[in-house]
Amino acid sequence: MSKWLRDIELTGRQVTLAPLRLSHRDALVEAASDGCLWELWYTGVPSPNNIEEHIAFALNENEAGRALAFVVIENSTRQIIGSTRYLNAKPVHRRLEIGSTWYASRFQRTGVNTECKLLLLAYAFEQLQAIAVEFRTHWHNHASRKAIAKLGAKQDGVLRNHQIGVDGIYRDTVVFSIIESEWPAVKKSLSFKLERHS
């Protein structure tokens, strides 16, 4: 694994982010079953049919130093409620992306996403010394676009015909970022939002 990205555990008040393991298979399927999240055509949430492939890809990316995948654990119950990761890491440019994020339906529109992003952004800017953190989402994923903007990220642009889906449909990808100089204000905003949720 890259010296830049190494296995870590990030703990907040509501959730803990722990490195993804093969042993998390059943718990991830159970979390994704809350809302049948794999039925959303514009996301890549694992299903019972592709969970092994999903985990294998994530762990291969971890091993190559390009990513670090986490499970999201609710602290009060110790249940896995979703997943997120650093990806597209470029150590030489001190840039990475936060993505492949999803939560069981009952934890959406709660303080969980805010705390997860605060933990990931704090580690990226304060420990990894990142100069920019990206977020990318499908053009049609309006809920995700809104959530990313609420974090304080600014839209950089839209990559037209960026990817071809397994169904052959072209994907336009919306790119957002937070840069190093913006982090103090974003941190204060996210911390304030978390206080209001608690």
| Assigned CATH for 10-197 | 3.40.630.30
**Nearest-angstrom CA–CA distance, 173 and 118:** 23
pLDDT for position 35: 57
Q: pLDDT means per 10 residues in the chain (198 residues)?
A: 84 97 93 66 68 91 96 97 96 96 86 95 98 96 91 97 91 97 98 84
**What are the structural domain ranges in the chain?**
10-197
Residue from 57, 53, 50, 46 nearest 80 by CA: 46
Q: Among candidates 135, 128, 185, 181, which has minimal Cα distance to 157?
A: 135
The Cα-based distances of 9 to 120, 123, 175, 177, 187 in angstroms read: 10, 10, 27, 24, 19
Residue from 66, 89, 83 nearest 19 by CA: 83
Q: What is the DSSP letter of 40?
A: -
Predicted local distance difference test score (pLDDT) of residue 36: 57
Length of the chain counted residue by residue? 198
Instruction: Kindly list the distances between the CA atom of residue 191 and the CA atoms of 138, 184, 188, in Å, as whole numbers in the listed order.
Output: 27, 11, 5
